[in-house]
Structure 1
Amino acid sequence: MYKQLKEVEVTVQGEPVASYPQNYQTGQGQPPFVGSPWNTGLFDCHLDQTNAVMTAFCPCVTFGQIAEVLDEGEITCPLGSFIYLLMMPAICSQWIMGSKYRTKLRNKYGLVEAPYQDVASHILCSCCSLCQEFRELKSRGLDPNLGWNGIIAQQQAMKYGNERLSQPPPPQVMSK
């Protein structure tokens, strides 16, 4: 009446839902969607129209401003702009510098590499990429329009501004 059950070995193929692709596990890549999202999208140029127009006509200036902030003043805006400007017509490789600084920005703030890879973003739409990077820095309190020295001055004013307001002004004397 009772039948003996045979043990059957079942092999399950595939990978668990929460795991990363195999090439990541072997160290040949990075997991998808690692990092926090950008504050604005790649094609949200309309959110800062002044910067969008400036970048459309002079992308080298926007790049210089971004480079100065990310390099904390080591590269000035005019020097960054000049380097970008030289790469534009000469060898059409401004995307190399643009993608390098986009990667630097992403790594500094732990941002996801989306919607495209950094290189692809700068090859396909360098102006949109520069505008997004500009807006990201600005939303984090680092307005590239001010330059690095302006940002430092603004931060110091915010830090010490309250102390100065609570102190009375120095004595003043009228002279003849």
Structure 2
Amino acid sequence: MGGHEITEELNEALQSDQPANTTTASLPGTNQPETQDSSTSLLDVDLMIGHPWTTGLFDCPQDQRNAIVTAFLPCVTFGQIAEVLDEGKSTCGCRSSCYFLLMLASYSQWILSTEYRTKQRKKFNLEEAPYTDVASHIFCPCCSLCQEFRELKSRGLDPALGWNGILAQQQGRQSDDEQLNVPPPYQAMSK
């Protein structure tokens, strides 16, 4: 089955409320048909493509503070994103400096930021859209960084807090949940 046929079948399955048709093909070297359920292939295609980002590439005004910081200091936003994606193994300052030096030396910071965009996409199973990771960071570096920042923030990992801030926030939530589950001390009724 060619790529064009798969696309047509996907579009038909998505437009109709009926389950997708099954397709048959003979196994190589045998006369026995192989039955393949199209709903399984839809799942496989979804896993290959990924889930959509929570915000679009050009939705920078949704977080105006981050958009302004990124417009003037993209290295800071990159450092914050890198620290969260590295789960605290690298610091914001270290990654910001690397980005800044690559930007000054040869405008090749896109290599580093593309690596982290790809890392984020794989971690959260996100689609590579609307452009490839490389094209996004070469032609729209600030918009790409803003989108990555917003994505982490929407998943409860606010890069502005830093990795230690995120851990502290999560521990605070856990202690709040534990306090809600603690029964009150011994109580007695009186007249």
State TM-score, norm by structure 1.
Answer: 0.77
Give the 3-state SS of the residue equivalent to 2:5 in structure 1.
Answer: coil
Across the aligned residues of Structure 1 and Structure 2, the Cα RMSD in angstroms comes to: 2.3
- Give the helix-richer structure, 1 or 2: 2
Instruction: Say yes or no: does 1:152 pair with 2:167.
Output: yes
- 2:10 maps to none
Secondary structure in structure 2 of the residue aligned to 1:18:
helix
Residues of 2 paired with 1:157 and 1:72: CA distance? 18
Match of 2:144 in 1: 129
Cα distance in 1 for residues equivalent to 2:60 and 2:4: 39
> 1:2-59: CA deviations, max 9, x gaps?
xxxxxxxxxxx9666227xxxxxxxxxxx79700000000000000000000000000
1:18 aligns with 2:33: no
- Whole-angstrom distance in 1 between the partners of 2:84 and 2:2: 45
1:82 is displaced (CA, Å) by 0.4
Q: Deviations over 1:81-108 (max 9, x none)?
A: 0000000010110000110000000000
Larger radius of gyration: 1
In the TM superposition, 1:23-38 aligns within 5 A as: 34-38=49-53
Which runs of 5 or more structure 1 residues have no equivalent in the other structure?
1-12, 20-30, 169-176
Tell me the secondary structure at the aligned position of residue 138 of structure 2.
helix
| Residues 159-174 of structure 1 mapped to structure 2, 5 A cutoff | 159-164=174-179, 166=182
In the aligned structure 1, how far is the partner of 2:2 from the partner of 2:89? 49
Question: Residue 88 of structure 1 is aligned with which of 72, 78, 103?
Answer: 103
Aligned to 1:66: 81
Match for 2:156: what amino acid? G
Deviation at 1:164, TM superposition (A): 3.9
Residue 16 to residue 63, structure 1, CA distance change in 2 (3 Å):
closer
Percent identical among aligned pairs is: 63
* CA 1:153–1:124: 2 relative to 1, 3 Å: same
**Is 2:28 aligned against 1:40?**
no
* Residues paired across the two proteins, number: 146
Pick from 154, 179, 184 the counterpart of residue 139 of structure 1: 154
User: Given the superposition, is the C-alpha separation of residues 14 and 96 from structure 1 closer, same or farther in structure 2, using an over 3 Å criterion?
Assistant: closer
Q: Give the equivalent residue in structure 1 for 2:28.
A: none
- How many angstroms apart in 1 are the aligned matches of 2:103 and 2:3? 45
* Bigger relative contact order (CA 8 A; separation at least 6): 1
**Within 1, Cα distance between the matches of 2:142 and 2:159?**
16
Paired AA for residue 5 in structure 2: V
Unaligned runs of 5+ in 2: 8-44, 185-191
